[in-house]
Amino acid sequence: MATRKLLLISNSTLHGGGYLEHCSEQIKTFLGQVKRVLFIPYALHDRDGYADVARKAYNAMGYELDSIHTQPSAIEAVKKAEAVFIGGGNTFRLLKTLYTEGVLEEIKRRVEQDGVPYIGSSAGSNVATCSINTTNDMPIVYPPSFSAINLVPFNINAHYIEPAPGSTHMGETREDRIKQYHEYPNTPPVLGLREGCILLVEGDKATLKGKNGAKLFVRDVEPKEIELGADLSFLLSG
């Protein structure tokens, strides 16, 4: 089996910068000699507009970008891809379309068997995990399953945030909602990726990168702060 290569980004845009600007250096290091990237814009309704935004960002980094929605066959596009990038938006719409287009298993095969680099941002990071149960998004459509590509045996909560100091908001915090998820048995760990946070997976090694730390939630265990540079390889053992 080829070495899996994943770059799972919490958010595409960080305050004060442009699209993917905050993680462009990590993307370039990650992609290496790749020349063309296959973009999957299924998380947003305006796929043409989304592809234009992504293309400009990747062109600026020195890569060509093809959007899967313009290709004659989505499955064939994945079969030929040098690298895959799935952007953010609505996770339910994204996963439903991955199922509808029949590319879920082919993406998994290309990443795990052929070593094709996978980049996910926000919703694109959510679908790389075992399920989308811990997304922040509204279920505007209903995918046939919440099971996702399952490239890693845990879940992600992108854009993870703590309550603002002094806030009078009385609704559930993000931590509350993740703990509610863990009230059910056999639920996997959840890695809360703060804005600017990136998880790099290379084979059986996982490292926290980016500009902010993360928070790890494990059922029946107190949540734990994860610092930049931390080795999270233990999460890959399931």
Round to whole Å and give the CA distance between 206 and 154: 12
Residue 114 known to be catalytic: no
Residue whose entry in the numeric block shows the structure tokens 């590319």:
103
Looking up tokens 């059922």 gives 219
Taking only Cα atoms into account, the Rg of the chain, rounded to an integer number of angstroms, comes to 17
Q: Which residues pair with 38 in a beta bridge?
A: 66, 84
Q: Is 169 a catalytic residue?
A: no
- Select which of 24, 69, 159, 233 is catalytic: 159
Q: Is 73 a catalytic residue?
A: no
Residue 171 to residue 135: CA distance in whole angstroms: 17
Active-site position among 12, 66, 131, 137: 137
**Catalytic residue of the set 122, 125, 131, 182:** 122
- The beta strands (E) that lie in the chain are given as 5-9, 36-40, 64-67, 84-86, 118-121, 155-160, 190-194, 197-202, 205-210, 214-217, 224-226
Q: Which residue has the tokens 């919440």?
A: 146
Active site amino acids: 122, 137, 159
